[in-house]
Amino acid sequence: MAIRRTTRARDAGDGLEQPRPRASSIDDAVTALLSLWLISGLMLDAWAHANKPGLETFFTPWHAVFYSGFAATAAWVLRLVFRHRSDGRAGLAAIPIGYGPTLVALAVFALSGLADMVWHTVFGIEDSIDILFSPSHLGLAISMFVIVTTPVRAAWSDPAPATLRRLWPALLGTGLAVAEVMVFLEYGNAMLMRATWIVTSFSEGGDDGSASRLAVRMVVTNATLLLPLLFLARRWGLPPGAALLTTTPLLILSGAETGGRNLSTLLSVLVAALGVELFARALRPTAERRRAYWLFAGLAPFFTWSLYLGVAASAVGRLPTVVELWTGAPIVAAAVGWLLGVLMLPAAPAATPR
């Protein structure tokens, strides 16, 4: 049984310790929805950089959506803190559990946004892979990750039952974090690939390196999709909808970045998420059910990437010509998934004999 710890902060006025407040489920829901606004602006910006070459200014409509989403999220979090201050709390005791790192991230985001405007003014607008390594963009990325995962931290120590009604803000926050991470790992996103490129890459046998690039993309995307589910399953189990909520934001992002030209690939991952939902219901992977957890960690990626390759082959009308690649890739994905499961939930230590 989980042990509930109460976080306390010292009130500088009377020297007494006050318990940190816990955000309500409605508070966390608003935080998650405002984070959705923020990440939607990021998706629009990613779409613009991928589909509108020759951008010459920082002041764009998608930046307006992005930074207004940040302003709304910051205003909401500050409102929560001041609401608790008006109840007589002071200092750290006014910050809801899980929201402390968010306040720091909001400040880092604001500074990174100013730095980004200056950077673009001095060095211009990036239009290739360099956009993913800009220092100001990395500052935005790290702070955004902390902001959108606020509902996860808020729910982590909550003893309430792990139902979808209670956890959907944390699940949505996790999905937004996955999408945000993959914005900056775009060069490793296998969901951006069209069916023709997938089949062609696994038909070349590595002569031009395309097979290696696809294999690496599959490994990176596999880990990015699976690790959040393993993380959630270890703490709460996986309530219905967990796989869909954590995968859908990345599906939308991947469609936006390609202008929808990879619909068959996106469809394969969506159907795979539905299958992963069924596996989660059947296996019930939790920290207490270690073997089921490990089996889920291997089975989910095997199904996902088998479907990924199968749908691509169906869309093109033929299988890749290198049999070893399309038969072995799902097995590699399953092995990597199982390894991640073991690392996330190692075997119980053997009892020490008396």
Give the number of other Cβ atoms within 10 Å of residue 317's Cβ. Answer: 8
342 in any annotated domain? yes
Q: What letter represents residue 42's amino acid?
A: L
Let me know whether 85 and 210 are in one domain: no
82 in any annotated domain? yes
- φ, ψ of residue 108 to 5 degrees: the values are -65, -40
Residue 48: which domain range? Answer: 18-165
What is the longest distance spanned by two Cα atoms in the chain? 75
Give the number of other Cβ atoms within 10 Å of residue 65's Cβ. Answer: 17
pLDDT tens for each residue of the chain, 354 residues long: 333 344 444 443 444 466 778 888 899 999 999 999 999 888 887 777 666 665 555 567 767 888 898 999 999 999 999 888 877 777 778 889 999 999 999 999 999 888 877 766 665 565 566 677 778 788 888 999 999 999 999 998 887 777 888 899 999 999 999 999 998 888 899 999 999 999 999 997 656 688 999 999 999 999 999 999 999 999 999 999 999 999 999 999 898 888 888 999 999 999 999 999 999 999 999 999 999 999 999 999 999 999 999 999 999 999 999 999 999 999 999 999 999 999 999 876 555 554
Let me know whether 41 and 158 are in one domain: yes
Let me know whether 154 and 285 are in one domain: no
Locate 293 and state its tokens: 């957890």
> Which is it for strands 17-19 and 8-10: parallel, antiparallel or unpaired?
antiparallel
Let me know whether 198 and 255 are in one domain: yes
Let me know whether 240 and 203 are in one domain: yes
353 in any annotated domain? no
335 in any annotated domain? yes
Domain count, the chain: 2
Let me know whether 113 and 201 are in one domain: no
What's the Cα-to-Cα distance from 11 to each of 18, 81, 87, 99, rounded to whole Å?
7, 15, 13, 18
Residue 9's H or E segment, with its range, is strand 8-10
Q: Is-contact 128 148, C-beta < 8 A?
A: no
Let me know whether 116 and 155 are in one domain: yes
Let me know whether 221 and 304 are in one domain: yes
Let me know whether 194 and 313 are in one domain: yes
Let me know whether 120 and 228 are in one domain: no
Beta bridge partners of 286: 289
24 in any annotated domain? yes
Instruction: State how far the Cα of 15 lies from the Cα of 217, in Å rounded to an integer.
Output: 55
> In terms of C-beta density within 10 A (0-12 exposed, 13-18 middle, 19 or more buried), how is residue 185 classed?
middle
Instruction: State how far the Cα of 245 lies from the Cα of 84, in Å rounded to an integer.
Output: 31
pTM: 0.83
- Domain CATH for 35: 1.20.120
Q: Is-contact 277 244, C-beta < 8 A?
A: yes
Cα Rg, the chain, nearest whole Å: 22
Q: Closest Cα to residue 180, out of 117, 120, 261, 109? A: 109
Instruction: State how far the Cα of 82 lies from the Cα of 229, in Å rounded to an integer.
Output: 34
Give the number of other Cβ atoms within 10 Å of residue 16's Cβ. Answer: 9
Let me know whether 161 and 236 are in one domain: no
1 in any annotated domain? no
300 in any annotated domain? yes
Of 133, 165, 197, which residue constitutes the final position of a domain?
Answer: 165
120 in any annotated domain? yes
For the chain, give the number of residues. Answer: 354
Let me know whether 264 and 216 are in one domain: yes
